[in-house]
Amino acid sequence: MPRSPAPGPDRRTLLRGAALTSGAAVVGGAFVTSPLQASPVRIAEPALHTRGGWNARPPSSPVQVLATPPTNIVVHHTATANSDDHSLDHALALSRSIQNFHMDTQGWIDAGQQLTISRGGHIMEGRNRALPAIREGSQCVGTHVANHNNTTIGIENEGTYTDVEPTGALLDALVETLAWLCEAYGLNPEDAIVGHRDFNATECPGELLYGMLPELRASTMSVLEAKGLQVPPRGQVDPADAPSYPSVPDDEPDHAYYHGPVRGADDISR
C-alpha cells in the first residue's frame, strides 16, 4: 500500500497537541509515555453528537451489522467548502446536508460514513447503528469505499484538502477518534489508518490530508501507548487482500472517484 512522505514540522506541531492531551510527553521531538499513564486505561469515547443530536432521517432500508470487526479506518474529506464557521450548529447542519446528499442524490439508504468531524472539531455519528456497533466491537456496514465497505469504517472530515491543511481542532478530534477506534477494534494504527485513495481511484482525502497520514498514525500510536495499552503487532491483515462483500465478479468494471457500492441494488452496503 502506498505511503506518502512525512509532511513538514508545522503539521507535526498540530498533531503533538492531540497526543499531549492524552498523557504523552514530547522529549527531543519524540513521544514517550508519561509515568502517570503507566496503568492500562481504556481510551474514553470522544464527546460526540449522535444522530438524534443532528435530527437524522431514518435509513430507507435496514443497515447491516457484521460480527466481524473492520480491519481499516479510512480517512476521507467531504470535498465541501473549507468553512470558517466552526460552531456546533454548523456541524450538525453539515451532517444533515451529507445525509440528504447521500440519500436523495446518490440513492444510498443513509449517510455513507460512520463518523463525521467538522472543521470546528465536532464529532458526529453518521450512519445509523454506527455508534452501538463501535461500542460492541462489530461492524456497521457503510457506503464510503467501493468494494471494501464490509472491512472498513469511514471518517468524513469536513473540507477540501487538496491544497490547504485541516484546522487544528479537526486534527485533534481526528487523532482522538482514531485512537478510540483502534482501541475498540484492536487495531495497529500503522496498518489500520489509510486514505480513501488507497482503495479507489479518487483524490480523497486530498493531497495534503493524505500526506499527513504518517503523522496521524504516529500520534494515534502515542495516545495508545500513553494509556498503557498493548498494540497488536503489524502485518496481521493486508488491506489489498481484504475480500469485498458481496463478492465482485472478475469482469466488474472499476468506477473512478466513487465512494459507494458498484453493484447496484443487490449490494447490501447501499
* pLDDT single digits (tens) 139-187: 999 999 887 888 899 999 999 999 999 999 999 999 999 999 999 999 9
Distance CA 162, CA 210 (A): 9
More reliable by pLDDT, 229 or 91: 91
CA 68 from chain centre, in angstroms, equals: 18
Residue 13, pLDDT > 80, answer: no
Condensed to tens digits (0 to 9), the pLDDT of residues 199-249 reads 877 889 999 999 999 999 999 999 999 998 888 888 755 555 554 444 545
Q: What pLDDT does 76 receive?
A: 96
Q: How far apart are the first and last CA of the chain?
A: 26
The domains located in the chain, with CATH, are 9-35+45-55+63-231 (3.40.80.10)
Average pLDDT, integer, range 26-54: 61
Nearest to 175 by CA among 24, 62, 28: 24
Comparing C-alpha atoms, which of 67, 52, 78, 44 is closest to residue 181?
Answer: 44
* Contacts of 135-140 spanning 24+ positions with Cβ under 8 A: 135/45, 135/184, 137/69, 137/184, 137/185, 138/65, 138/66, 138/67, 138/68, 138/69, 139/65, 139/66, 139/67, 139/68, 139/69, 139/70, 140/63, 140/64, 140/65, 140/114
CB 205 within 8 A of CB 75: yes
What does the pLDDT read at residue 187? 94
pLDDT in tens, 61-90: 999 999 999 999 999 999 999 999 999 999
Residue type, 87: S
**13 contact partners, CB below 8 Å, separation of at least 6:** none
| Cell reading at 140 | 456497521
What's the grid cell of residue 172? 485533534
Beta strands in 103-161 (DSSP E): 115-117, 123-125, 139-140, 152-157
